[in-house]
């Protein structure tokens, strides 16, 4: 069952990037078979599953039964038995027909072995492997993950005490597999959406370097509250942008009814841009950082425009847009400032040739190859040290858009012309003030003795206070916006200490005239109105919404939180900085 891939289909969409040899392929990497004890059609054959995959136009599928590889092993054994009978010249007509059908379908569809492992506390993890992986090797992996020997052939989702999530990630990755968090945003998912606890655990489970992909059930939805948007790298505590894909998690051939939650083969499909249909090419993309190489497949509808999707999500701390990169008018300098700022932060993506307004048509970059070379030269010549960036191009509405992918810097601080240090603050790029430069230096040299001697950051309840306002309900401080920690008047001018809620850093001696946009807003509120009185605040437990400010599609919140006798006021908080408790409160207030 070597499954060679000599034949190639025509591409189903336009290629992103500069390589015209790559093609969009359709995959469903989460299919159960009769090898799972909860499979809903016991009479279905493995040929039936392959035929249904062909009908749905799939190029790549994976058999991922619960804590077993019994399904893939059964199909492989059936094929090997038919090949043996053929070699002996003992095939009857029905057996010959089945073997011919297997040959045809396995030539057309890449079928990969895998499993859906149930980790400690019931979290589900997919492991996907090359098609020629020995069954004994995969069963050994499951035993290493503490699946009981007697359970290896049962295909049950419940197998008792097994390995923890992080161990499972590491073991599957080190074995050469693709590691996918199954239905991460729903039941048994590692994102633990809807739960009021587990913040640090959620961070560990979704940011671990051995995890390659999040499988989600809302990939085709738009808006601020989708799983893909939550894990796009804009949240300080989730700095690694995660690739999100979708799979059917099919437990039957066909969906029972249009409204049924029990999906069939190919009911949730992801398209992937591949150089060839092989496990190696698949792993190269899924383990890589170019998130535009996968997209939800929407049937005969127009293919998804990755640039337009980014515009609809809007500018953020990790995403910016520039209609031009011309030197005249300072456009190129603004692009370089974003590169510098994102290198000093958690990285990000910059799109050139398109505005942030999704309703405006893209301008495009006429000579995109030349533009890429000029940008590479400018980044190399003007930024010190040279940041880690990748520059390529993507199509959008018939225009070519230049994209700069900025990786988080490992040698901070980064500067333009040696002395201009920039940072990214929500949707703005600004010159760093003194205290921010000190923190960047501290981050870049945190192992040095001099920096180790720096005093610790002053905490608000240990930087991220956890306020209990109901049994088992924990509230953390927002992760975007600012707090005015202290204000004092000197010679008629107020000087403020501002806390950046993204990282807890304190910036001292900020005045109303020197403050940048968000700080200026917060300082103006404090100087003109003072802090609201506690008795006048509409508390919901220990938290409250003070004010909601909207502009176009952007929304900012002013919030309050009680910690004992102390009240903290947070200004300019965005959705990306809020956990479920805050979001629930805001939904009630609107």
Looking only at the bridges linking them, the beta strands covering 60-66 and 110-118 are: parallel
Question: What are phi and psi for residue 108, nearest 5 degrees?
Answer: -90, -30
Q: Which CATH number fits domain 23-302: 3.20.80.10, 3.20.20.140, 3.10.20.30, 3.40.1390.20?
A: 3.20.20.140
Residue 408's pLDDT band (boundaries 50, 70, 90)?
confident
Greater model confidence, 426 or 213: 213
For residue 577, which of 550, 551, 559, 553 has the smallest C-alpha distance?
Answer: 559
Confidence at residue 449, expressed as pLDDT on a 0 to 100 scale: 39
* Mean predicted confidence (pLDDT) in 491-504: 85
Greater model confidence, 187 or 77: 77
Residue 7 has pLDDT above 70, yes or no: no
Q: Is the alpha carbon torsion for 325, 329, 333, 338 positive or negative?
A: negative
* Mean predicted confidence (pLDDT) in 433-453: 66
Residues 6+ apart with CB under 8 A from 205: 123, 165, 166, 181, 190, 191, 192, 211
**β partners of residue 282:** none
Residues 6+ apart with CB under 8 A from 182: 30, 64, 116, 124, 125, 126, 188, 189, 215, 247, 249
Residue 64 has pLDDT above 50, yes or no: yes
Domain layout of the chain by residue ranges: 23-302, 312-446, 466-589
* Mean predicted confidence (pLDDT) in 210-238: 88
Confidence at residue 21, expressed as pLDDT on a 0 to 100 scale: 83
Q: Is the alpha carbon torsion for 425, 429, 433, 439 positive or negative?
A: positive
> How far is 179 from 173, CA to CA, in rounded Å?
6
Q: Is the alpha carbon torsion for 481, 349, 230, 128 positive or negative?
A: negative
Residue 281, by phi and psi: left (phi above 0), alpha (psi -120 to 50) or beta?
A: alpha
Greater model confidence, 190 or 298: 190
> How far is 118 from 124, CA to CA, in rounded Å?
5
DSSP conformation class of 327: T
Residue 13 has pLDDT above 80, yes or no: no
Among all chains, which residue has been given the structure tokens 């995969």?
138
* Mean predicted confidence (pLDDT) in 82-103: 93
Tens digits of per-residue pLDDT, 171-197?
999 999 999 999 999 889 998 765 555
Residue 198 has pLDDT above 50, yes or no: yes
Confidence at residue 450, expressed as pLDDT on a 0 to 100 scale: 38
Confidence at residue 466, expressed as pLDDT on a 0 to 100 scale: 44
Confidence at residue 264, expressed as pLDDT on a 0 to 100 scale: 94
Greater model confidence, 578 or 318: 318
Confidence at residue 147, expressed as pLDDT on a 0 to 100 scale: 96
The overall average pLDDT reported for the chain is: 86
Max avg pLDDT among 298-307, 359-368, 390-399, 435-444: 359-368
* Mean predicted confidence (pLDDT) in 277-288: 97
Residue 14 has pLDDT above 70, yes or no: no
* Mean predicted confidence (pLDDT) in 304-333: 90
For residue 136, which of 158, 113, 167 has the smallest C-alpha distance?
Answer: 113
* Mean predicted confidence (pLDDT) in 13-41: 80
Residue 581 has pLDDT above 80, yes or no: no
Residue 446 has pLDDT above 50, yes or no: yes
Residue 17 has pLDDT above 50, yes or no: no
> How far is 421 from 413, CA to CA, in rounded Å?
7
* Mean predicted confidence (pLDDT) in 268-290: 96
At the topology level, CATH places domain 312-446 in: 3.30.950
- Contact between 213 and 183 (Cβ < 8 Å): no
Residues 336, 339, 345, 347, Cα dihedral to 10°: 170
């Amino acid at each position: 069952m070597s499954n060679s891939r000599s034949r190639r289909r025509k591409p189903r969409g336009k290629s992103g990037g500069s390589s015209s040899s790559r093609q969009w392929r359709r995959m469903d990497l989460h299919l159960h078979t009769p090898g799972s004890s909860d499979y809903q059609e016991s009479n279905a054959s493995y040929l039936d599953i392959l035929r249904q995959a062909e009908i749905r136009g799939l190029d790549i599928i994976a058999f991922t039964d619960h804590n077993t590889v019994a399904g893939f092993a059964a199909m492989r054994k059936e094929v090997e038995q038919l090949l043996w009978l053929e070699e002996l010249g003992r095939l009857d007509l029905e057996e010959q027909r089945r073997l011919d059908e297997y040959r045809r379908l396995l030539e057309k569809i890449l079928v990969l072995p895998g499993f859906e492992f149930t980790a400690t506390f019931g979290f589900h993890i997919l492991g996907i492997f090359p098609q020629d992986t020995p069954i004994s090797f995969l069963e050994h992996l499951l035993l290493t993950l503490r699946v009981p020997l007697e359970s290896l052939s049962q295909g049950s989702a419940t197998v008792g005490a097994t390995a923890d999530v992080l161990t499972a990630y590491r073991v599957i990755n080190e074995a050469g597999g693709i590691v996918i968090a199954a239905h991460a945003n729903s039941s048994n998912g590692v994102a633990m959406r809807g739960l009021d606890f587990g913040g640090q655990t959620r961070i560990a489970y979704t940011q671990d370097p051995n995890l390659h992909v999040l499988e989600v059930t809302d990939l085709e939805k738009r808006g601020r509250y989708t799983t893909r948007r939550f894990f796009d790298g804009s949240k300080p505590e989730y700095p690694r942008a995660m690739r999100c894909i979708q799979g059917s998690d099919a437990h039957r051939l066909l969906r029972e009814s249009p409204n049924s939650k029990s999906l069939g083969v190919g009911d949730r499909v992801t398209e992937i841009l591949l150089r060839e249909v092989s496990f190696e090419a698949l792993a190269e993309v899924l383990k890589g950082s170019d998130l535009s190489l996968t997209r939800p497949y929407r049937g005969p509808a127009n293919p998804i425009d990755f640039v337009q999707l980014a515009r609809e999500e809007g500018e953020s701390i990790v995403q910016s847009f520039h209609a031009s990169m011309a030197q005249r008018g300072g456009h190129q300098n603004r692009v370089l400032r974003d590169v510098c700022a994102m290198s000093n932060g958690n990285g990000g993506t910059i799109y050139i040739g398109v505005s942030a307004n999704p309703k405006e048509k893209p301008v495009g970059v006429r000579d995109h190859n030349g533009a890429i070379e000029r940008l590479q030269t400018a980044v190399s010549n003007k930024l010190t040290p040279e940041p880690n960036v990748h520059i390529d191009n993507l199509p959008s509405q018939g225009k070519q858009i230049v994209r700069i992918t900025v990786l988080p810097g490992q040698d901070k601080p980064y500067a333009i012309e040696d002395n201009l240090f920039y940072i990214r603050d929500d949707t703005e790029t600004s010159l760093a003030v003194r205290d921010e430069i000190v923190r960047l230096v501290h981050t870049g040299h945190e192992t040095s003795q001099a920096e180790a001697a720096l005093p610790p950051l002053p905490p608000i309840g240990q930087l991220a206070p956890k306020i209990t306002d109901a049994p088992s309900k924990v509230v953390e401080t927002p992760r975007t916006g600012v707090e005015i920690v202290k204000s004092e008047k000197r010679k008629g001018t107020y000087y403020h200490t501002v806390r950046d809620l993204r990282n807890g850093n304190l910036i001292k001696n900020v005045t109303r005239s020197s403050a940048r946009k968000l700080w200026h807003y917060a300082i103006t509120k404090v100087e003109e109105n003072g802090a609201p009185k506690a008795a006048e605040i509409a508390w919901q437990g220990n938290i409250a919404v003070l004010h909601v400010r909207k502009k176009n599609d952007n929304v900012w919140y002013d919030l309050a939180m009680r910690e004992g006798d102390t009240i903290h006021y947070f200004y300019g908080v965005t959705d990306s900085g809020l956990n479920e408790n805050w979001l629930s409160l805001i939904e009630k207030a609107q």
